[in-house]
Structure 1
Amino acid sequence: MVLSRFWLAIFVCSLAFVVFSLFSGDSYSIDYVLNGKKDDPILISEKYINELPQFIQDSIQKSEEKSFVINRDTTNLDTTYVFKNKTVKIFSGVQKSDGLLPTCKNTLMDIILPLIAYLAFFCGLMELLIVSGASEKIARRLSPVFAKVFPSVPKNHESISYMTLNFAANFLGLDSAATPFGLKAMQSLQEINPDKDKASDAQIMFMCLHAAGLTLIPTSIIGYRAAQNAANPADVMLPCIITSFIGTIAALLIVGIRQRINFFSATLLVAIMSVIAAIVGLLFYINTLDLVGKNYFTANLSGLMLVAIIGATLIFSFRHEKKFTDLGTTIFDTFVEGCKNGIQTGVKIFPYVMVMLVAISFFRNSGLFEMISNGISFAFSNIGVSKQITDSLPVAMLRPFSSGGSRGFMIDAMQNFGPDSFTGRLVCIFQCSAETTFYVIAVYFGSVNIKNTRYTLATMLLVDLICVITAIFVASWFFIK
């Protein structure tokens, strides 16, 4: 219910702002909101050529392309004059996001189809885990810990193994694997949910822990920093780990207090301390490596772990092939059947993803997001917040709405301020330590047709805020001398 109202509010407010801008003269056309594409120039005016300054008229007439560009530099947007059919169209600025109709198409082509491919493969893998009995073994080993965090989940339930694989994939920065495992976990938890239209306590806890996104190897962030020629692309790794770990603990505490979980359980405390020890141990090892060694290690660890998971699943299935034979199937046929389930899941979540991304597209292109972002940055700057921080805030603000949009701001910040600047590093920590909240809620709850998400959205946004505040303090501690 909350998500539905929030989505409607975004859409209605953006629509009202677009119409107001058109009739107030701030916008010349609203076609770009509907049909425009990201980074396309925006039409701001149209005039007869004799209404333009003489030097622009002369430049247009002399140009073979019948166009003229002014303000060509790297810090300001170009203004382009294009002469056609007796009038001159004036373009300035670029579009922030794809328009409504291109977003509908790109949601299918660029998001859903690749996601369906990932779902097909990893759901096939998970079907092997189920039939071979591997998921049951994982669940049995981890049940003592999960029983404390998810008391409503039966002992040795298969959802435990799926949640474990989801957390492990996030931990290693394997986004393509994390989503299929997470969707399978939600479907498994839905089977024991007494109210099918309302999110259960276990589903809320899982979603909020997922939102914190505890990450050990931020592979993509390191890659983007290397592409921008950072002196040490992996220097944000420890701040990212600390920030995401604090976010995870915050999510556990916020949801746990509401669900009255016993945090003083010896089993739970041992599990948390084991995770901390593993992180500290790995960091100590990484710190013993030189720059080349660090880059090599961080670039290969995640991939090796994914290969290990795939290899272990196949080997375990082969060793327990009799279980497949007893069910009248084979390892290959079981994998194919799992792939079919993955495709069905991808088709099912497509409408939920599309309607959410269309609203976000409308929100960004209307100019409302930019106005709010600039207003917040201005307010923070007036209370003494460093400009280095306010320059980073657009990434933090956009991250819950759009991973691609916040990634664009992150890259732009590194290009403008330098990858080794405080701003360049802070935006990377923002990008790594928060989740695309609205997208994730649409995908995960949409996959099981849950309409009442209860307090999930508010909690996930609060965790995002905690991660942003933590990132600022951690980045200041590490990078401001």
Structure 2
Amino acid sequence: MVLSRFWLVIFISSIVFIIISLFAGNTYSVDFVLNGKKDDPILISEKFLTEIPVFIKDSIQKSEEKTFTINRDTLNADTTYVYKNQTVKIYSGKQKSDGLLPTCKTSLFDIILPLMAYLAFFCGLMELLIISGASEKLAKKLSPFFSKIFPSVPKNHESVSYMTLNFAANFLGLDSAATPFGLKAMQSLQELNSEKDKASDAQIMFMCLHAAGLTLIPTSIIGYRAAANAANPADVMLPCIITSFIGTIAALLIVGIRQKINFKSATLIVGLMTVIAAIAGLLFYVNRLNLVEKNFFTSNLSGLMLIAIIGITLVYAFTKESKFVAQKTTIFDAFVSGAKNGLTTGVTIFPYVMGMLVAISFFRNSGLFEIMSDGISFAFSNIGVSKQITDSLPVAMLRPFSSSGSRGFMLDAMSTFGVDSLTGRLSAIFQCSAETTFYVIAVYFGSINVKNTRYTLGIMLLVDLICVITAIAVASWFFVK
């Protein structure tokens, strides 16, 4: 219900703002909202050749392309004059995101189809885990810990193994594997849900733990920093881990208190201490490496772990081939059967993803997001917050809405302010230590047709806020001399 109302609010308010801007003369055309593409120049005016300044008119007439561009610098938007069909069209600035129709297209071709391919492959592997009995064994090993966090989930239930694989994939920065495991976990938890259109406590806990995006190896962030010639691309690794870990603990406590979970359990305390010790141990090892060794380690660990998961699954399935024979199938046929289920899931979630992305597209292109971002930055600057911090806030604000959008702001911050500046580093920490909340809710709950998400959205956004505050504190501690 909350998500539905939020979707309506940002959609309708964006449309109203676009119409007001058009009739107030602040916007010349609304075509870019419908048909424009990200980074396209925006048409701001159209005049006759005689109405423009003489020096621009002369420059256009001398140009073979009948165009003239001014303000070619990194701080101001270019203004381009294009003479065609007896009028001069004036373009300035770049479009923030794709318009409605391109968004519908890209949501299918750039998001859903690749996701369906990942789903097909990993759901095929999960079918092997189920039939071979590996998922049941994994669930038995972890049930004592998970039963404390998810008391409504029976011991040894298959959802435990799926959630474990999802957390492990996120932990290693394996987004392509994490989503299929997470969707399978939600589907498995839905089987235990007595009210099918309403999120269960276990589903809410899983989603909120997912929100903090606990990551051990932020591979993509390190890659972006390396491409931008950072002095030490991996120097944000520890701040990313600390920020996402605090966010995860916050999510566990907030949801746990709401669901009256017993945090005094010895099993739960031992489990958490084990995770903390593992993180600390790995950080201690990584900090002993030199720059070249760090880059090699961080760029290969995640890939090797994914290869290991695939290899172990296939080898274990081969050793348990008799179980496949007992079910009158083969290992490959079981893989194909699971892959088909992945494709079905992809088709199911497409409308939810498209609907959310189109609303976000309207929100960004309308100018409302920019006004809100500027307002918050202004408010923070007036209470004494460093400009280096306020310059990075657009990444944090956009992260819950759009991963690609916040990534664009991050890359822009690295380019404009310097990859090794506080702004550049803080933008990178924001990008890796939180989840794309609205997209994730649309995908995960859409896959099981849950309409009432209860308090999931509110807590996920609260966790996002905690991650932002933590990121600012940690970055200031690490990088402000």
TM-score, normalised relative to structure 2: 1.00
Instruction: Measure how far apart 1:377 and its partner are.
Output: 0.5
**Structure 1 partner of 2:201:** 201
Query: In 2, distance between residues paired with 1:416 and 1:254?
Result: 37
Please give the secondary structure, in 2, of the residue aligned with 1:68: strand
**Structure 2 partner of 1:11:** 11
- 2:344 partner amino acid: Q
- 2:187 partner amino acid: Q
Query: In 2, distance between residues paired with 1:335 and 1:152?
Result: 30
Query: In 1, distance between residues paired with 2:58 and 2:212?
Result: 58
Instruction: Measure how far apart 1:76 and its partner are.
Output: 1.1
Deviations 1:44-64 (A, max 9, x none): 000011011111111111111
Instruction: Measure how far apart 1:294 and its partner are.
Output: 0.3
- 2:190 partner amino acid: Q
- 2:144 partner amino acid: P
**Structure 1 partner of 2:43:** 43
Instruction: Measure how far apart 1:75 and its partner are.
Output: 1.6
Task: Indicate yes or no: 2:28 matched with 1:25.
Answer: no
Query: In 2, distance between residues paired with 1:288 and 1:56?
Result: 60
Task: Indicate yes or no: 2:362 matched with 1:362.
Answer: yes
- 1:85 partner amino acid: N
Tell me whether 36-45 or 68-77 shows the greater mean CA deviation.
68-77
Please give the secondary structure, in 2, of the residue aligned with 1:90: strand
Instruction: Measure how far apart 1:74 and its partner are.
Output: 1.8
Task: Indicate yes or no: 2:439 matched with 1:439.
Answer: yes
Instruction: Measure how far apart 1:135 and its partner are.
Output: 0.2
Query: In 1, distance between residues paired with 2:24 and 2:404?
Result: 31
Deviations 1:387-410 (A, max 9, x none): 000000000000000000000000
Task: Indicate yes or no: 2:104 matched with 1:113.
Answer: no
Please give the secondary structure, in 1, of the residue aligned with 2:37: coil
Query: In 2, distance between residues paired with 1:78 and 1:114?
Result: 35
Please give the secondary structure, in 2, of the residue aligned with 1:80: strand
Instruction: Measure how far apart 1:446 and its partner are.
Output: 0.1
Please give the secondary structure, in 2, of the residue aligned with 1:182: helix
Instruction: Measure how far apart 1:72 and its partner are.
Output: 1.1
**Structure 1 partner of 2:226:** 226
- 2:91 partner amino acid: F
How many residue pairs align between the two structures? 481
**Structure 1 partner of 2:313:** 313
Query: In 2, distance between residues paired with 1:348 and 1:241?
Result: 33
**Structure 1 partner of 2:387:** 387
Query: In 2, distance between residues paired with 1:304 and 1:262?
Result: 37
Tell me whether 445-454 or 63-72 shows the greater mean CA deviation.
63-72
Query: In 2, distance between residues paired with 1:232 and 1:374?
Result: 31
**Structure 2 partner of 1:322:** 322
Please give the secondary structure, in 1, of the residue aligned with 2:131: helix
Query: In 1, distance between residues paired with 2:298 and 2:59?
Result: 53
Query: In 2, distance between residues paired with 1:325 and 1:248?
Result: 42
Please give the secondary structure, in 2, of the residue aligned with 1:356: helix
- 1:91 partner amino acid: Y
Please give the secondary structure, in 2, of the residue aligned with 1:97: coil
Runs of 5+ unmatched residues, structure 1: none
RMSD value, Cα: 0.4
User: Percent identity between the aligned chains?
Assistant: 81
Counting only pairs closer than 5 Å after superposition, residues 341-420 of structure 1 correspond to structure 2 as 341-420=341-420
Q: Which 4+ residue blocks in structure 1 deviate beyond 6 angstroms? A: none
Query: In 1, distance between residues paired with 2:194 and 2:119?
Result: 26
Instruction: Measure how far apart 1:73 and its partner are.
Output: 1.1
Please give the secondary structure, in 1, of the residue aligned with 2:215: coil
- 2:299 partner amino acid: A
Query: In 2, distance between residues paired with 1:219 and 1:254?
Result: 29
Query: In 1, distance between residues paired with 2:152 and 2:244?
Result: 26
Instruction: Measure how far apart 1:260 and its partner are.
Output: 0.3
TM-score, normalised relative to structure 1: 1.00
Counting only pairs closer than 5 Å after superposition, residues 176-187 of structure 1 correspond to structure 2 as 176-187=176-187
**Structure 2 partner of 1:252:** 252
Instruction: Measure how far apart 1:176 and its partner are.
Output: 0.3
- 1:306 partner amino acid: L
Instruction: Measure how far apart 1:287 and its partner are.
Output: 1.1
Instruction: Measure how far apart 1:246 and its partner are.
Output: 0.1
Deviations 1:423-468 (A, max 9, x none): 1100000001010000000000000000000000000000000000
**Structure 2 partner of 1:262:** 262
Deviations 1:111-134 (A, max 9, x none): 000000000000000000000000
Instruction: Measure how far apart 1:296 and its partner are.
Output: 0.2
**Structure 2 partner of 1:302:** 302
Instruction: Measure how far apart 1:231 and its partner are.
Output: 0.5
**Structure 2 partner of 1:461:** 461
- 1:367 partner amino acid: G
Task: Indicate yes or no: 2:424 matched with 1:430.
Answer: no
Instruction: Measure how far apart 1:185 and its partner are.
Output: 0.1
- 1:158 partner amino acid: E
- 2:397 partner amino acid: M
